[in-house]
Structure 1
């Protein structure tokens, strides 16, 4: 039987994944105390209307984290706070918020001998040419400063664990979608963006010719994998995806089906110098070590998501 943590700290707990994680943890561990730290730069209090714990405003890359987290004495930390906007080009800001913030969290973990589960990203793999599932140990090629910051966090986590003996586990998210992301606006998932366009009666806009493929993982699967990660037998990094690569055309087709529409895509040229054409997670490691198998394929995930957005459930 898994030991119930006494004090759970969640950084970035008012954001998309963080809020879903917090609400799930309070159901699983009703006797645990949960503290959320978030600077609310990419969050919405509405995501936490059913949260029963404490929420404090805090920039984890600043010294205030030590005053607000040390007294709490966490024995389990989920670190999701970071700049997730991949269009940010301010390299100093990205590295300070993401990398310096992570180092502060690890210092809190060291002081309290806490296990840490932190958000990594599939962006560390870069623009993969071959269409094969991506294994965690493959060569990394971060193409922007966001991906680079996550790559450096992975390196720091490994070094910290070797030096301290504490368990630090990365969850390398692929394209997460689902309820609670609306506040992200244009940085929400493509599934939400396309839903909004089609709901408004507009043709869904896709880069030519909509056959770019991504590994889309539903929020409930992402949260389950994140919580399971704390049971890892050792410090490591796990891919968190669906294990399937699906096209943007597939998304449009499913949204048409579940919304009762028949809108054809409006294809246009991709304006970006760098754009990932294909991502697919190799999920064998997390399955073998933790027994995690995604419960939602794209059909099931989009159907449930649309039902929620349409007020059907």
Structure 2
């Protein structure tokens, strides 16, 4: 089976591309390397196309069986609304149109940012009031997908609303890398881990290996759908530091700082996974503590910490 991974040099895309390769798929990666990094693809032996999702000639992908659309601007601090919607929404629409026209299965990355301040646990129907232009761009993708699902009942369209993803190959995301990476790096560098006052904000932290697993399950989804992909469990930032101290052998106290993003900050995210389980048979395999241990081991082996 031949598959295309857009954004395949990025964090999630590279993990997905490598796992697909391991499973024997013929994998093509598309990435303009604006935020992806070639080192994420070390060990990859498939084809790499260095083009923008807005400009690439789609006809060269007519022979693929599945498109995993991961490409997007993921920096939630970007304020250029036109750029964000052009890349994230118009780029998505272009590939969705192409997939439907050519009977190609389409699996795409949505986001928990579509929920804004909806109360936890967030259910799929709670989305639609995003706090920033990134969340808005992803919400419109979901709205377009819903219309296509209704209009083309024979198409295979699956949207995955990722919650806070962490794990190997995120280090090139810089400030947008997970808090697990940011805090671990601070601690290894001999600094007290810095978090917003008073560390009781909660996030659904989902391990990259579970996210990759959800993408693989989406290929055989029972029906077209848009579902949450998370751990189903929220953990506080204080608890993240507690776990990192235990795994890394430190005893740091957090340094609490003011939150400059308070007006649009999500205080508590937690995925309701009932639809993901129903339509994809998705159940996360990694508990938070075990995932952190596995991740820190990978970082040490690869000399990132």
Alignment TM-score, normalising by the size of structure 2: 0.95
The equivalent of 2:131 in structure 1 is 143
Q: Conserved in 1, the CA contact under 8 Å of 2:167 and 2:295?
A: yes
Residues 200 and 271 of structure 1: CA distance in aligned 2, closer, same or farther (over 3 Å): same
Give the C-alpha shift of residue 163 in structure 1: 2.3
Partners of 1:87 and 1:312 in 2: CA distance = 29
Partner Cα separation in structure 2 for residue 109 and residue 236 of structure 1:
16
The one-character-per-residue Cα deviations of 1:34-64 (angstroms, maximum 9, x if unpaired) are 11110111111111111111001011122x2
Confirm whether residue 154 of structure 1 aligns to residue 146 of structure 2. no
Given that residues 18 and 44 in structure 2 are in contact (C-alpha distance below 8 angstroms), is that contact kept between their aligned partners in structure 1? Answer: yes
Report the counterpart of residue 22 of structure 2 in structure 1.
27
Tell me if structure 1 keeps the 8 A contact 2:247–2:293.
yes
Which SS does the other structure have where 1:231 is aligned? coil
Aligned ranges 1:16-95 → 2 under 5 Å: 16-28=11-23, 30=24, 32-62=25-55, 64-70=56-62, 73-95=63-85
Give the Cα separation in 1 of the matches to 2:284 and 2:177: 21
What is residue 262 of structure 1 aligned with on the other side?
251
Q: From 285, 294, 300, give the equivalent of 2:275.
A: 285
Shift of 1:92: 0.5
Checking the alignment, whether the CA contact within 8 Å between 1:61 and 1:102 is kept in structure 2 is no
Inter-partner Cα distance in structure 2 for 1:254 and 1:126: 27
> What secondary structure is seen at the aligned counterpart in 2 of 1:308?
helix
In 1, Cα distance between equivalents of 2:93 and 2:197: 41
CA distance in 2, matches of 1:270, 1:33: 45
Q: Is the 1:74–1:112 Cα contact (8 Å) retained in structure 2?
A: no
Q: Does 1:243 align with 2:235?
A: no
Give 1:8's aligned residue.
3
Per the alignment, do residues 143 and 312 of structure 1 end up closer, same or farther by CA in structure 2, a change over 3 Å counting? closer
Does the 8 Å contact 2:14/2:40 carry over to 1?
yes
Question: Does the aligned pair in 1 maintain the 2:194–2:255 contact within 8 Å?
Answer: yes
The answer to whether the 8 Å contact 1:83/1:97 transfers is yes
Aligned to 1:219: 208
Matched position secondary structure for 1:106:
helix
Q: Tell me how far apart the structure 2 counterparts of residues 43 and 33 of structure 1 sit (CA, whole Å).
A: 21
- In the alignment, structure 1 residue 206 sits paired with structure 2 residue 195: yes
In the alignment, is the contact (CA less than 8 A) between 2:121 and 2:272 conserved in 1? Answer: yes
- TM-score, normalized by length of structure 1? 0.93
Structure 2 Cα separation of the partners of residues 312 and 304 of structure 1: 12
| Contact 2:116/2:127 (8 A) holds in 1 | no
Q: After superposition, what is the alpha-carbon deviation per residue over 1:138-192, rounded to whole angstroms, capped at 9, x for unaligned?
A: 2421111100000000011121232233111000000000000001111100110
